[in-house]
Structure 1
């Protein structure tokens, strides 16, 4: 799979944002230690932009920026398309056709490798556009068994109507059984309740999730609020 295939199955900007927020909240519930989490979301990244990001912990990372539209940047450290494998240069054609409104993101320090964008694939969609777009890249031939030459497979979890990929990941990555039903509710952005949180992780309560839920702008059931905040 490559950016060409992923772009064809990407959801709308609104649905992508919703699923990104859900992933961040799911990870916050299952893993209270932020240093060990994989997925994060912040509505406070910039005044005009929200940010979803993934850190594999093994050298791969992903960011989805939501200004007026969406810009996806992914980096797979073993990809032959990595700048480190190409004289510290971005793979040719990767940003061909990028709208001007996304250009400032190309100089975001946290997205950089040395003086170049740290990316093995990119996609974008302007707020007024009807489809996802990407540059015209010639994918390299590879002598490995992996078909994920550019690392874009990491976007698959955000392209699914149901979240089996996340459940499979969580059951492997976190040392606990994961309730598929509870995950599906959060995937559909059902408002959080104490019981829903504890169905996923009995050792975590709503009060411990105030910051993460707020950063993700995820909905919380009204009965979970008091005059001073979340119960």
Structure 2
């Protein structure tokens, strides 16, 4: 699991990637409930929330705050699912070593605290990602490898993924610009998805909390 944790990168880099993915999904998918990636910049006081949801019962929640970042994942087919045993309960060790300051981020009922198969965190005073000492049965999988893989690491990864998921062929250069944090213009939106309501897309993009980078051209 060490490799997957380190692939998350620095928290600031991870946040930038998640914002780009949410922005791209806003552009290419007008229906909010069908989007795979989303980001709430002002989800709670001093907290931002990114979500990855495949619509089939699997998800990632990533909460960013002043105390650090905590990521909670759930693979509904995993043997570590709280639904998999005779008694409904969180698999031992998943949350045992999480700092109280970060556990507090998961107390909102919307985050489904008990619906979890793995948890990764990084406190603001730590230099690396952490995970609890979880004993995974031989042949079992906590779902972390493939769920973390849904956070595209590059424009190329996203374009390939979107072709399969949304059945769209996207302009690579425009996707690269968005990954780099460029100003998103009406022309860029139309280039990526000609049928998109541009004004609606721009309004939603502004909710990501990066107004200066995501606004229509003057």
**TM-score, with normalisation over the residues of structure 2?**
0.90
Tell me if the contact between 2:184 and 2:215 (Cα under 8 Å) persists in the aligned partners: no
Shift of 1:51: 0.4
| Residue 140 of structure 1: aligned partner | 137
- Paired residues in the alignment total 214
Q: 2:190, 2:21 → 1: CA distance?
A: 17
Q: 2:115, 2:203 → 1: CA distance?
A: 29
1:203 aligns with 2:202: no
Give the 5 Å matches for 1:117-136: 117-136=114-133
1:41 aligns with 2:39: yes
Shift of 1:220: 3.3
Shift of 1:222: 6.7
Comparing 21-30 with 176-185, which one deviates more in the overlay? Answer: 176-185
Shift of 1:97: 1.9
| Residue 102 of structure 1: aligned partner | 102
Give unmatched runs, 5+ long, in structure 2. none
Tell me if the contact between 1:193 and 1:220 (Cα under 8 Å) persists in the aligned partners: no
Tell me if the contact between 1:72 and 1:122 (Cα under 8 Å) persists in the aligned partners: yes
Tell me if the contact between 1:11 and 1:159 (Cα under 8 Å) persists in the aligned partners: no
1:176 aligns with 2:174: no
Q: Tell me: CA distance 1:15–1:132, structure 2 relative to 1, closer, same or farther (3 Å).
A: same
Question: Structure 1 segments of 4 or more deviating over 4 A?
Answer: none
| Residue 111 of structure 2: aligned partner | 111
Shift of 1:202: 1.1
Give unmatched runs, 5+ long, in structure 1. 144-148, 226-231
| Residue 54 of structure 1: aligned partner | 52
Structure 1 residues 162-186: Cα deviation after superposition (integer angstroms, max 9, x where no partner): 2333222211121321222221221
> RCO greater where, 1 or 2, for CA within 8 Å and sep 6 or more?
1
Q: 2:132, 2:155 → 1: CA distance?
A: 28
Q: 1:26, 1:155 → 2: CA distance?
A: 18
**What root-mean-square deviation, in Å, do the aligned CA atoms of Structure 1 and Structure 2 show?**
1.9
Q: 2:93, 2:3 → 1: CA distance?
A: 17
Give the 5 Å matches for 1:12-27: 12-27=10-25
